[in-house]
Amino acid sequence: MSAAPTCPYCNALVDAGPGQRVVCPRCGEAFTARGDAITEGPPLPRPAPGFPPKPVRRNRLVGGVVLAVMVLMAAVGLTFALVTQPWRRAHDTALPRKRPANPEDLSILGYLPPGTNVVVGLNWERLNAVAGKDFLERPLGPGPFGVTPVRLPEWLGLDADDVRLVVAGLVVQRGQLVPTFVLLVRTRTPIDHDGWLKRLAKRGANPQSESADGRQMLRVDLPADAPLAALRYGYLTYADDQTVAFAYFKDSLKGVPERPAEKFANLAPELSDVLRDRTVAIDLSAPLWLAGASDNWPALPTDLGARADVPEPFAALRGVRRFAVWVRGGDPNNADVPVNLHVDLDCREGSLRAVRTWLLGPPRWWGWPQRPDLSWHVEGSWLMYQRRISWKDLRPGTEG
């Protein structure tokens, strides 16, 4: 029996007659088939064209190993990220993302008197959570102006557990001996009028109804440990059903509008710019913040900064036109965890170096000292300062 011709290059069997020009299906070489080979027995089967069969079991094993390694690496990375999150947050001194504040809370600023140019805000719930009782029991502010936050609700006849937000506003004007001061406290639930009067009477406030320009208010006796207790009396009125306004003088409450002003229209234009300035980026949802703007700091009748008994931070205001200060971060379960203290100061022309020296210390021959717990930079007339500090070491109004 004539055998099928084979490829002279790879010995593969080909389907061709003798003398026929063919192309090998295995190696692809062209040749002329020969038919002189004789073999006994049935013809050998032709091999299937194409590539040799793949090692399926081996490929599956390699793929399984690769997939297992990838899953293991992902698990290790996720575990590391979760375990080190507190450590990474504690060392994060970059500008944090702003948390949008509740528009209803921001509306409380609309109750401040027209021309307000200094504002202090305490987010009571968040401050109580991250700072702890120890911080709230310490006086905030210098000397006779210091106020103990934890005592505020009792002084005003409010339930401390129901307080949500505290805002204080000052109108600092040239030639004004005592700045106009209004304190606003917003509660989580509507204020019960009868319960409010009972708490005031229990404190010994002796509330007496009075009015001024048609606005009803209460005159109350000041507690002995209140700031400026020597004035003896203070005045309270409703701003709305969840907001109480306090002032030392009756005329100060005349400036509290019946309805809150919108978009900070009641504030001094320079202060409104600070609260809206994207460069400053003050966080009004922070546990504690304050901002101010005035061209009158050097000309105040008390001549802040010229007296030896004026705290140094207030003396430094002589070189600052606008400022914004706020605190972010903290751990509700550990008051020792540092927080980010942000201080942005818009310095007057020629005052940047003096303000920077007060804030950072005197420069050395190579420049200002560098510290691992703080960072700063200058952007135009603004000095931007950040520092890592614990709540125990933070004293707003006296921190330097």
User: Tens of pLDDT along 136-179?
Assistant: 777 766 556 667 788 888 888 898 889 999 999 988 876 667 78
Q: What's the pLDDT at 395? A: 56
Residue 77 domain-assigned? yes
Burial group, residue 128, by CB count within 10 angstroms (0-12, 13-18, 19+)? buried
Average pLDDT over residues 274-283: 76
Residue 88 domain-assigned? no
How far apart (Å, rounded) are the C-alpha atoms in residues 301 and 178? 9
In this structure, the number of other CB atoms found within 10 A of the CB of residue 351 comes to 18
Alpha helix stretches (DSSP H) within 159-286 = 193-203, 269-276
On whether both 43 and 190 belong to a single domain, the answer is no
On whether both 252 and 124 belong to a single domain, the answer is yes
Q: Which of 253, 213, 214, 212 is nearest to 236 (CA)?
A: 253
On whether both 264 and 357 belong to a single domain, the answer is yes
Q: What's the pLDDT at 138? A: 76
Structural element, H or E, at residue 59? helix 56-83
Residue 232 domain-assigned? yes
Residue 396 confidence (pLDDT) above 60:
no
Could you give the 3-state DSSP secondary structure of residue 338? strand
Residue 91 domain-assigned? no
Domain that includes residue 233, residue range = 103-393
Phi/psi of residue 370, nearest 5 degrees: -105, 140
On whether both 203 and 282 belong to a single domain, the answer is yes
On whether both 29 and 178 belong to a single domain, the answer is no
Residue with tokens 């036109």: 321
On whether both 24 and 72 belong to a single domain, the answer is no
Dihedral sign for Cα atoms in the order 279, 280, 284, 286: positive
Give the number of C-alpha atoms closer than 13 A to the C-alpha of residue 268, restricted to the C-beta side. 21
pLDDT tens by residue, 287-336 = 889 999 877 664 544 444 344 444 455 556 678 888 999 988 777 667 67
Residue 94 domain-assigned? no
Residue 65 domain-assigned? yes
On whether both 320 and 275 belong to a single domain, the answer is yes
On whether both 131 and 238 belong to a single domain, the answer is yes
Residue 217 domain-assigned? yes
How far apart (Å, rounded) are the C-alpha atoms in residues 73 and 77? 6
Query: How many domains does the structure of the chain reveal?
Result: 3
Residue 98 domain-assigned? no
On whether both 249 and 353 belong to a single domain, the answer is yes
